Amino acid sequence: MTKLLTITAVSASLFLVACSQAPEGVAIHDPYEATNRKVHEFNVGLDRAILRPASRVTAAMPMEITGPVTNFAENVALPGMMVNGVLQGDIKGFGTNSMRFVVNTIFGIGGLFDPADAIGLYEEKTDFGETLSVWGVPEGAYVELPALGPSTERDAVGELVDFFINPLGNWVHDDVKPYLPAARAADVVIARGQLGSTIDSVLYESADSYAQTRIIYLDNRRYELGTVVQDAYIDPYADPYFDPYEDQ
Amino acid sequence: MATLVTRRSLFAVAAAAAVFPHAAFALSTAQATTLVDALVGDINKVIGSGKSEAAMISDFETIFDTYADVPIIARTALGADWRRATDSQRTRFVTAFRSYVASKYGRRFREFIGGRIEVREAATVPNGVEVRAMAILQGQSPFEVSFVISDGSGRPKFINLFIEGINMITSERTEIGSMLDRRRGDIDGLISDLEAL
């Protein structure tokens, strides 16, 4: 495990050195747009054929069924967030997520229920992409990944590393292991169902769903990471024609 | 989660203010908060009203007109193409944009049924005052909705909103830009497409 982690970390760093450089928080840096658009088309097809129909099924299910699945998936993701908390030096986040994991695993029957929320122990959402950001790694270019969706070069590496650094696999019984990816997949479907019409409006109602997905992802991700977005607070009365989001 | 986000956003705003040191606004955070309190009160009334979707969207259009500087938002969304638009095109574009935005965002706010929005804090930003609120919905983690208020029109109005960092102005600028591209830059075509939505 440690060896695997080292290999992942080293190859990730090598990849990041090669990352396309752009000033932090600059609107859109998308040198791979042609390829990204093809991947986007594939992803929309995947959503139309599989994810959206499946999510309509889960959206029609009662909360008593979908709730525990979501809770379980979120709980098993916590140890990975705890590792990232340590790597970021975020002791408070690590503490909250650890407490949350203990409370929900023990009193929430293996994480099926979420008593931690009730006592104000909310998840401190984080991932390895954020760890890289804390470490000063630049965002890199915008990329759309097959099946995984919008990302940046930095976050793509983060997703890969997150796949390996969740220590939970070492702690659980072999019988439980198959449930971990299954719960994660189910959680994706359920989340798609909850955000149903919002995602539909972006993917199927906008004039250019690729461009909409890109700007929404970047805005939201930069907000999560606390990246200062240049020109987010431009005064429209001073120069209403200035376009901060012009393609670079 | 909530406190961490708040701390980060505050940092972002403080840093943005440092980049634009010329910000000197007459509008106070208290005035801006009063406006958003009233705005959020009206939105909460609509989402609690139990009306039909069409009736709610019409209510949201009234709210949008009352509280937002619609012409400046429309003009910013059209960007540089505003300059070459004729007076008649500008008027028709603003009207079409008003009902397009009211219906689009009205449908999103309609998903807040059974929930509520709570105003949390206000801070000066380079283009006015940003007032942050939390949307608290059933069975979902709370998320942030923030309004940027400016008195650039002579009266305090909202000129932008952010939902979890997603900037309405830039996302609409992208959308209007794509629609205009689809019409190969024909503004009249864009207006009729907007009216048809």
d(CA B164, CA A179): 31
**Per-residue model confidence (pLDDT) at position A1:** 47
The answer to whether the CB atoms of B150 and A212 lie below 8 A apart is no
Determine the Cα–Cα distance for residues B78 and A240; give it in Å rounded to an integer: 9
CA distance A174 to chain B (A): 32
pLDDT tens digit string along A98-126? 999 999 999 999 889 999 988 888 889 99
> Which residue in B75, B171, B178 is closest to A240 by CB distance?
B75
pLDDT on residue A46: 93
pLDDT given at position A19: 59
What is the least distance, in Å, from the CA of B56 to any CA of chain A?
17
H/E segment holding residue A236 = none
Distance CA A194, CA B27 (A): 38
Higher pLDDT, B143 or A32: A32
What value of ipTM does the predicted structure carry?
0.81
Q: Tell me the pLDDT of chain B (197 aa) as tens digits.
A: 444 445 555 455 455 444 444 444 568 888 899 999 999 899 889 888 888 888 888 898 899 999 999 999 999 999 889 999 999 999 999 999 998 998 888 888 777 777 888 899 999 888 889 999 998 887 677 889 999 999 888 889 999 999 999 999 999 999 999 999 999 999 999 999 999 88
Q: In chain A, what residues touch B9 (CB-CB under 8 Å)?
A: 223, 226
Tell me how far apart the alpha carbons of residues A43 and A93 are, in angstroms, rounded to a whole number: 33
Chain A residues with CB under 8 Å of a chain B CB are 27, 63, 67, 92-93, 122-125, 194, 197-198, 201, 206-208, 211-212, 215-216, 219-230, 232-237, 240-241, 243-245
φ and ψ of A245, to 5 deg = -110, 20
User: Is B126 close to A244, i.e. CB distance below 8 A?
Assistant: no
The span from the first CA to the last CA of chain A, in angstroms, equals 41
Q: Is A243 helix (H, G, I), strand (E, B) or coil?
A: coil
Distance from CA of A237 to the nearest CA of B (A): 6
Q: Which residues of A touch B141 (CB under 8 A)?
A: 122-123
Q: CB–CB of B57/B164 below 8 Å?
A: no
Tokens of A155: 């976050």
What pLDDT score was predicted for residue A37?
97
